[in-house]
Structure 1
């Protein structure tokens, strides 16, 4: 499932570009309806099959990959008042310019849960990056709170409906 409408319309238009304009518009309309019907059915199936996960399958797959990646990071606390962490990424050990990559992560309070990272993935994707996940693990905070409500199964079901 994708939410990128450019991808949807490119998929719908495949094979229809040589048709007259009215046929192209009709193909786009019917193809878009078919896409949202299929997306709605997939969301309903995912909700029925996965009662214990609050998020859609794509968000859960993303989180699983990032958790696996986070296990390879090294983290150290650098803030005494704020919850700021320096996360070092493993290097490949190849070449003469083998430098250690680091990211700075800032985690908000329990009352106002926010996360910031110098990689900016949490800001752009509305999903925590592996650096945030490893920092949350240090303070035993559930990083799922940083996943946008957009990725909730019910939101996917609601926005995937065709009326």
Structure 2
């Protein structure tokens, strides 16, 4: 995480070496303002195009769907929204082969459903077996409307260089 943060800062500060502090602040502000304006336009276009969820979420869901054929829903209780999903082949790094999913509590034994706040592959398998739309289990933060709110705010300009 520290490396990622350092890389992000290096990208923003690229080309500002040996400049006075005021010039570095000004350059950083200008680059962030341009980024916010560009991302705001992109997000607005996606929102106007009818896209409901962010592209990153859709990419993650597609990745989780890749191996759904290797999962088998072995037990389900539709009333309680509890499912048991069994891995047909072991997955690298996971020793567990059976997972309990509770849709009403938005939990899965793998822990990804709770931590990421969108359906993991086991939850997607349970939803597919019960013909339940997975979109209901996605946290609202992944909607395009929420993403647009981040970039909708005005990016204020620096009033006075002395300040």
Deviation of residue 55 (structure 1)? 1.0
1:15 and 2:40 correspond? no
Q: Distance in 2 between matches of 1:55 and 1:80?
A: 26
Q: How many residues align?
A: 147
1:55: which partner in 2? 53
SS in 2 for 1:71: helix
Please list, as runs of the form range in 1=range in 2, the aligned pairs for 1:82-101 lying within 5 A after superposition.
Answer: 82=80, 83-91=82-90, 101=97
Deviation of residue 129 (structure 1)? 0.6
Q: Distance in 2 between matches of 1:43 and 1:137?
A: 29
Q: Distance in 1 between matches of 2:127 and 2:78?
A: 16
Q: Distance in 1 between matches of 2:10 and 2:109?
A: 33
Deviation of residue 47 (structure 1)? 2.1
2:103 is aligned, of 107, 114, 122, to 107
1:69: which partner in 2? 67
1:135 is aligned, of 104, 126, 133, to 126
Whether the 8 Å CA contact 1:73–1:131 is kept in 2: the answer is yes
| Structure 1: gaps (5+ residues) | 93-98, 109-113
SS in 2 for 1:76: strand
Q: Distance in 2 between matches of 1:61 and 1:128?
A: 12
Deviation of residue 79 (structure 1)? 6.2
Q: Distance in 2 between matches of 1:81 and 1:142?
A: 16
Change (3 A) 1:160 1:8: farther
Q: C-alpha offsets along residues 104-162 of structure 1, whole Å, 9 cap, x if unaligned?
A: 32221xxxxx3211221122221111111101112221111111111111111121124
**Structure ID, larger Rg:** 2
1:148: which partner in 2? 139
Task: Please provide the CA RMSD for this pair.
Answer: 2.8
Whether the 8 Å CA contact 2:71–2:85 is kept in 1: the answer is no
